[in-house]
Structure 1
């Protein structure tokens, strides 16, 4: 059984697949399974004496987004987590490698990384499990940025597929040569990196607590960025130019990062 969906909510669809599967095993009828599906589609609920009750209201999108392993990721990569944070903010292509026997870990990592840009609430960029076949690679490359998971070690040599490569078993992050300039680090990055590490080490903080702390820091960064620009009279949105940033005489790495971030957030007129 294959269930196609347009939203990101693994827990919701896992329960649905189990419910439909049990229904089919009990009845041997695809029509009975379809009946349950149509009930969920039209009413948002599905009741079964044998298999229990299902309601889409029990599976909110934000709850799915918040099921993250951010704390583990930060503890694994330490201050280098800032590379992942920077890459996701700048809408880079991120490849994550985990061996085939650790597929669940791969799924956990790929679903967690977009939480570093919580303000976007965009999990459409996640391609949890990609194989190095022509068809799947062609589909992946049709997207300008993504978080893609792989179980084939050979992907490390395919730097045409990524800007940063995350080797989970080796706790290693590699920046592709073509992306090194745009991924230059400065004091701003160091401060954020130290904040993330400190929060990950703080006892009693959950993954969602850490996500909120990072989100608050990101929002502070975006507010400061907006304050450097002007408001576009036509769109009413913040507008920022490279010349404006240069007037501030910032360190090159900070200037480059802020302008790239402004472009990623739609603050730059093209």
Structure 2
């Protein structure tokens, strides 16, 4: 697990004080401040993930006071370079279990290092659990079939927003529920690595809004319903509790919906109603997306710099509708196909 960076142990005493009791290999003050400001460490039990320069994954649980007296609950923070919420939250829960059972932070360190070095000890149940968990395909933990069923044909608006790299905000009043759903959205565009554009949750304040405005596109979660009034922050807003999708008035021309989109929406509905598992559904959507991209690349040529180039003239030769032309031009741009004058 070379993408692992660090882990921290947090203890909340019976007196309510929060102590960062262990950090390996280190913890910066700015990291601690961000976690304390953003996460409700006073809660008795929760799991969540987020990003502050790198990804962090937190598991908080009640403490075994027979082992750790005067401690009400303990939290484990795992820091990593990559976005794998199920794997790293599982690791955080296993580290928490080791600490809860032993009360010895050096045993937690020993287990963490065994994961980093892949030195899995056969008689260590936690290591075996983690090894088994890591062997699973991450797409199996997606809920993309449920998302499709939730929104029906309108799910194409989510797909189109992600495909064309627009601004997508996902709302739910409950942070744990929001994060559970949010991790499935990237699977709509599994042919791309879009984790860098994922903001698990933001608050409607000047600092977080400034961060959003610094980005051209994003998938951002929010628990504050005042975001409904901020159409300047999104092209598409997904309201999970209400099962509604809203396109901002100024973004309708940016998100063309063609007959091809309607066909893909029907295709997704069929996948959601099928007996296919999540992994096969994700693969099928990816294959359909690659068909679209192949269509565009068939109209392109290699330049001397080995980049793909396409001209508006080539697109017009296909006699597409104006709406389809608009879509193709935008998709070509997101797939790094450049435009030429000939």
- Tell me the SS of whatever aligns to 1:75: helix
Q: Does 1:71 align with 2:145?
A: yes
Could you tell me which residue of structure 2 aligns to residue 234 of structure 1?
Answer: 305
Q: Does 1:7 align with 2:78?
A: no
- Tell me the SS of whatever aligns to 1:169: coil
What is the RMSD computed on CA atoms of the aligned residues?
2.4
CA distance in 1: counterparts of 2:220 and 2:130, whole angstroms: 30
- Tell me the SS of whatever aligns to 1:43: coil
- Tell me the SS of whatever aligns to 2:183: helix
Is contact 2:140-2:277 (8 Å) kept?
no
Answer 1 or 2: which has greater helix percent.
1
- Tell me the SS of whatever aligns to 1:181: helix
Report the more deviating stretch, 33-42 or 14-23: 33-42
Unaligned 5+ segments in structure 2 are 1-75
Aligned pairs for 1:56-205 within 5 A? 58-59=133-134, 63-100=137-174, 103-202=175-274, 204-205=275-276
Could you tell me which residue of structure 1 aligns to residue 283 of structure 2?
Answer: 212
CA distance in 1: counterparts of 2:291 and 2:338, whole angstroms: 19
CA distance in 2: counterparts of 1:90 and 1:264, whole angstroms: 6
Q: From the superposition, tell whether residues 95 and 233 of structure 1 become closer, same or farther in structure 2 (CA, over 3 Å).
A: same
Is contact 1:82-1:192 (8 Å) kept?
yes
Q: Any idea what the Cα deviations from partners look like across 1:39-69, whole Å, max 9, x if unmatched? A: 3223364677474535558426x82244211
Bigger relative contact order (CA 8 A; separation at least 6):
1
Structure number with bigger Rg: 2
Query: Which ranges of 4 or more aligned residues in structure 1 deviate by more than 4 Å?
Result: 46-52, 54-58
TM-score by length of 2: 0.70
Answer 1 or 2: which has greater strand percent.
2
Could you tell me which residue of structure 1 aligns to residue 332 of structure 2?
Answer: 262
Question: How many aligned residue pairs are there?
Answer: 265
Could you tell me which residue of structure 1 aligns to residue 91 of structure 2?
Answer: 16
Is contact 1:111-1:123 (8 Å) kept?
no
TM-score by length of 1: 0.87
Offset of 1:141 from its aligned partner? 3.7
CA distance in 2: counterparts of 1:165 and 1:198, whole angstroms: 24
